Amino acid sequence: MSTNVEIDSESIANFCNMFGVSIDYTPEQAHKLKTHGRTHLLVDQLEILAQQICTDDACRKEFIETRSTSFHPVSMTLFVVNDALWKIMDRKDDHPDKMLPMTTIPWFYWEREAESRETPLGVRRLEDPDKPLKIDVDGNILKISGNGGDFSGILEGRIVDSRRGIRPLFIPGSPGSKKNMAKYESEFIEIKIDISSTKMVLYPVPEKEFDYIYSEHPRVFYDHGILLSTDGENTKLKVGSRKENTLRGKVRIFIGKAFKESEKSEDILTFHVWLSMLKQLSFR
């Protein structure tokens, strides 16, 4: 298995110089670098780079934790699948057969005035530079935190529209969209996962049962991301000042970062090595 995107030779060289590491290329990779200046890297090569940079758990923990905020913005989307949530999805006007995310970092929300030719769905994205996605490792517990969006139901658009305030006054017959829309409130999110019972997969293929409208685009996770799959009993979610709750059902957590297609930077390769270190946590 290899990366889904090609890394340019300049970025690879800058990365190797920065960390004092090297890559043993396959003949095909060496040829592509010579003729095209770019190549895919094997997942095995990323793992070797990660092991060259960090030879013990303490180093790996520090690298994962420190880099999680320095890469800002990094996105996270949490899906939970159970019968109770499917009943809520039945209220959706569009794609009731697809599950919406329960929480995301950053915050994605619908706003009527955001609907345009460029953004026909009217979904805005709002980053919080003061509370970026952060990852902490404590034994077998992986904690993901940051400011994002918390799903709070399917309501008429005239109630959901954020311009009307956090708790809008609803008056029968008031103007606005009557179409059912998902409501996401801006909250500080904390997720704790038992990684000893979690499967991690690099560059996950988008899952057909999920609705990514209020999420980072699935292509980002496919090109520069990782999927954590586990059961609700292994996952705790705390939203704002509310009590921490253990989730119920199937849990899928996507983590990734968007890079421009033509971007040249050692940060791209560094991020993929960071993802590799995350994945290696599940094999400890």
Q: What is the pLDDT of residues 54-113, one digit of tens each?
A: 989 899 999 999 999 999 999 999 999 999 999 999 999 889 999 999 999 999 998 877
The whole-number pLDDT of residue 264 equals 72
Task: Decide: residue 244, CB within 10 A, 0-12 exposed, 13-18 middle, 19+ buried.
Answer: exposed
- Mean pLDDT computed over 2-24: 94
The whole-number pLDDT of residue 257 equals 96
Cα dist from 10 to 47, 65, 161, 220, 268, whole Å: 20, 27, 46, 22, 12
Nearest to 260 by CA among 11, 49, 1: 11
Cis peptide before 120 (omega within 30 of 0): no
- Angle, CA 136 vertex, CA 132 and CA 139 arms, to 5°: 170
The whole-number pLDDT of residue 265 equals 83
- Angle, CA 228 vertex, CA 254 and CA 96 arms, to 5°: 55
Q: Which two tokens stand for residue 89?
A: 């999805």
Domains of the chain, by residue range, sit at: 1-70+263-284, 72-256
Check whether 268 has a pLDDT greater than 90: yes
Q: What is the pLDDT of residues 160-209, one digit of tens each?
A: 675 544 444 444 545 556 688 899 999 999 999 999 999 999 999 999 99
Cβ-Cβ contacts under 8 Å for 218 (sequence gap 6 or more) = 206, 210, 212, 254
pTM score above 0.85 = yes
Contact in structure between 222 and 212 (CB atoms under 8 Å)? no
Q: What is the pLDDT of residues 205-247, one digit of tens each?
A: 999 999 999 999 999 999 999 999 999 999 999 999 999 999 9
Contact in structure between 66 and 24 (CB atoms under 8 Å)? no
The whole-number pLDDT of residue 168 equals 47
CA diameter of the chain: 69
